[in-house]
Structure 1
Amino acid sequence: MNGVWRIVAAREIAVKLRDRNFVISTVVTLVVILASLVLTGFLSSRPDKIDVAIAGSDTSVVLETANTLASDAGADVSFIARPVADRAAVEQSVREDEVDVGLVPADDSGWQLIGKTAEDDNATTYITAAAQQIALQRNAAAAGVSLEELARGAAVTYDVLEKGSIDPGLAKIVSFVFAFLFYLASVLFGMSIAQSVVEEKQNRIVEILASAMPLRQLLIGKVVGNAALAFAQLALFAGAGLAGLAATGKGAQLGQIAGAAGWFIVFFLVGFLALASLWAVAGALATRSEDLQSTSTPLGLLIMIVLFAGIFLTGTARVIGSYVPIMSIVAMPARLADGTAAWWEPFIALALMAIASYGIVVVAEKIYRRSLMQTQARLTMRQALALED
């Protein structure tokens, strides 16, 4: 009898793979992941073309120098000159959105950029640098020295203390993806377990199953089968995401993200054993499908809390959350993704998760066995625990 759970697990997997909704949702999610990465890569690789209305002498020289500086910096920015008659025409072009920004001489003080409602960061950075470089060249020539001599002692170097860390924006996206995948897999596979249990109970099939195998084996089979499917699906999604990142030119950050994704899958697999058991309990406490909304509400709230915690927790709160079982499924991999967790932290968090999952599974198995054969009315967990085996 000890191997009966394998038959149940195989049946759970086979039923799920034959479910068109499951297959279609998996394919659609894959397409969405790849399409979003391709779109993000396309948008980020598009050059930022900035139309600049210019008036006055030497403004075209400033723009040419700004384009050179942007190119040397590897920025996808280009400034396109739109000559007009005078300053008034420049301001009119900016107000009417014919150009993005305007550039005019500012008497003897240099140059003036003109925007409509806000400053353009690229224009401020590169046009300002170009104007300063041109002014230095002229002042050096007037003083009879070279530009190198004039700039001696002004070099600034940049030492990055934590090389290899991913940028904060990408880390935030990775954290959101972990939270979303946790929510999707927990609800999709968890609700499937609960519905399977309540349908077998409602149709009295469970009485036949109970005469053929121990209820503990039935629970193990359902949990293991759905956990295997959840693991495979998450691995597929993670692989697609990493392949998409590599294709969009973020290979330098791929190693850290891949490591965090691997930890996420491991954390999810361990935590899902507890969640799956609780979903089975939600099904066992119900007597019909309509009862599931009530019996699964606490579990749904828990999953929502983890989802929002994974998205919004920051600082010390996220550090604490990364050690809290179930919440650590999302929080610890997110910290690993942005480089704020030491190498040993996930091992401690995973150990805490394993201990908590074992305790939850033991209690859930007891509730499951005691409530599964009760078909008179919907039960609460307290009522189920009070029943005799």
Structure 2
Amino acid sequence: MSATPGNESRGVWRIVAGREVVVKLRDRNFVISTVVTIVAIIASLAISGFLSSRPDKVEVAITGPETAAVLDTANALAADTDTTFTGYAFPDRAAVEQQVRDDVVDVGLVPVEPSGWLLIGKTAEDTDTATYITAAAQQIALQHNADAAGVSLEQLGRGAAVDYDVLERGAVDPGLARIVAFVFAFLFYLASVLFGMSIAQSVVEEKQNRIVEILASAMPLRQLLIGKVAGNAVLAFVQLALFVGAGLAGLAATGKTEQLGQIAGAAGWFIVFFLVGFLALASLWAVAGSLATRSEDLQSTATPLSMLIMIVLFAGIFLTGTARVVASYVPIMSIVAMPGRLADGTAAWWEPFIALALMAVATYGIVIIAEKIYRRSLMQTQGRLTMRQALALEE
């Protein structure tokens, strides 16, 4: 049995969605910007990993007896790290200080009686170098004192052992969690503006060129809206998935595998939250285009939506404490706030499900209202409309 015209019109949105995808994929600027962003993400993480894993070679100007022994002990203590100390002997303290001033070496090490040793820097203290050399000097001093007291070093240090037990091994450190939250907020802003403005411009161009009148005679306006939203939602989802995948791959390459699981889970939730929320945002961007009659009108009709996106961006970056918890349940804001909380481990496993349900309900309501405004304003070409004016129009 053949399909009825009504059934045929209900599937037209797929054609519109396919056209949106094809047009975007043929846009060289879109493809190039996507590839460049992926390369930039991978390159930045690779450079970060290279810099963090690069050996730290510390050159030390030394003078006096047993100074070389201190460096040897410091190298032994730093054997499991990328830090190495190389000593260069000089006749006296003045020569050591001159080497430091001339930037020939990183630091100087000279004996000071009776306290022990003195590290010499040029403009600031090197805390890592100070840690290893101090520990080495203390170990040598303990050995000398133990020999003088007629006991072994083990006996002298009995009861001083300190072990380390990590209660939440693999949890994301706060600094990395803040970076992840910032990345979520930035990706939300980038995708919302990029794809949203594309929808609005497409709508207003079709309206300005009177193409929409031809489209309206061939399909229901509801199907046209659904197609535009669905097509751009697919593109946004794929692009975000590529960005997040590149970021996770780069993070794994830097050796942060213990934290990768939690961050990957938060990133997955971010994509889901964005996809659901983008359906509402895309509908509102389409409304911004339908309310305008010329491309110049978009600056006015899209201002409220642009302000909302900026608010969500800053909320995702700067909110903390109770305000952040509340924002993680507020639709649209939860796109960045809830995944950010999941990244730093402050959200329970059940919280994203509740926040996503609230987002879905809000999205449904926004789409219903947006669809009414879109249908009532799209065919109006006399001038720019407000939402209230559009709702007052007869269909």
- Structure 1 residue 308: Cα displacement: 2.1
Task: Verify: 1:3 aligned to 2:11, yes or no.
Answer: yes
Distance in 2 separating the partners of 1:367 and 1:171:
40
* Secondary structure of the structure 2 residue equivalent to 1:53: strand
Aligned-partner Cα distance in 2 for 1:320–1:50:
48
- For residue 210 of structure 1, report the CA deviation from its aligned partner: 1.3
Tell whether 2:185 aligns with 1:183: no
Q: 2:120 aligns with which of 101, 108, 114?
A: 114
Cα 1:117/1:320, change in 2 over 3 Å: farther
**Which residue of structure 1 lines up, in the alignment, with residue 45 of structure 2?**
37
Matched, 1:157 2:163: yes
1:279-298 mapped onto 2 (5 Å cutoff): 279-298=285-304
Distance 2:376 2:188 in 1: 29
91-100 or 223-232, larger mean C-alpha shift: 91-100
C-alpha deviation, 1:148, in angstroms: 1.2
Q: 1:48 aligns with which of 51, 56, 64?
A: 56
Matched, 1:237 2:217: no
SS of corresponding position for 2:60: strand
Secondary structure of the residue that 1:102 maps to in structure 2?
Answer: strand
CA distances 1:69-118 after superposition (whole Å, capped 9, x unpaired): 111xx321111212222122222222332222221112111111122222
Counterpart amino acid of residue 43 in structure 1 = L
Secondary structure of the corresponding residue to residue 105 of structure 1:
strand
| 1:94-113 superposed matches below 5 A | 94-113=100-119
Unaligned runs of 5+ in 2: 1-8
User: What is the Cα deviation at residue 388 of structure 1?
Assistant: 2.1
Q: Which moved more, 1:257-266 or 1:350-359?
A: 350-359
More off after superposition, 51-60 vs 265-274: 51-60
* Deviation of 1:292 (Å): 1.0
Could you say which residue in structure 2 is the equivalent of 1:24? 32
Mapped partners of 2:213, 2:355: distance in 1:
40
Residue 84 of structure 2 is aligned to residue 78 of structure 1: yes
- The residue correspondences of 1:209-224 to structure 2 (distance < 5 A) are 209-224=215-230
Pair 1:145 & 2:151 matched? yes
Match of 2:72 among 52, 55, 64: 64
Count of paired positions: 387
Q: Deviations over 1:275-301 (max 9, x none)?
A: 101100110011011111111122112
Q: How far does residue 201 in structure 1 lie from its aligned partner after superposition?
A: 0.5
Structure 1 position 121, deviation (Å):
1.2
Alpha-carbon distance in structure 2 between the residues aligned to 1:316 and 1:95: 51
Cross-structure match for 2:255: 249
Secondary structure of residue in 2 paired with 1:388: coil
4+ runs deviating over 3 angstroms: none
Paired residue for 1:352?
358
* Sequence identity percentage: 82
Instruction: Give 2:44's aligned amino acid.
Output: S
Note if 1:306 corresponds to 2:312.
yes
- For residues 299 and 288 of structure 2, what CA distance do their matches in structure 1 show? 9
What residue is the counterpart of 2:4 in the other structure? none
CA–CA distance in structure 1, aligned partners of residues 233 and 103 of structure 2: 56
Letter in 2 for 1:126: Y
Match of 2:3 in 1: none
Report the CA distance between 1:225 and its aligned residue: 0.8
Check the 8 A contact 2:171/2:258 in 1, yes or no: no
Task: Name the counterpart of 1:321.
Answer: 327
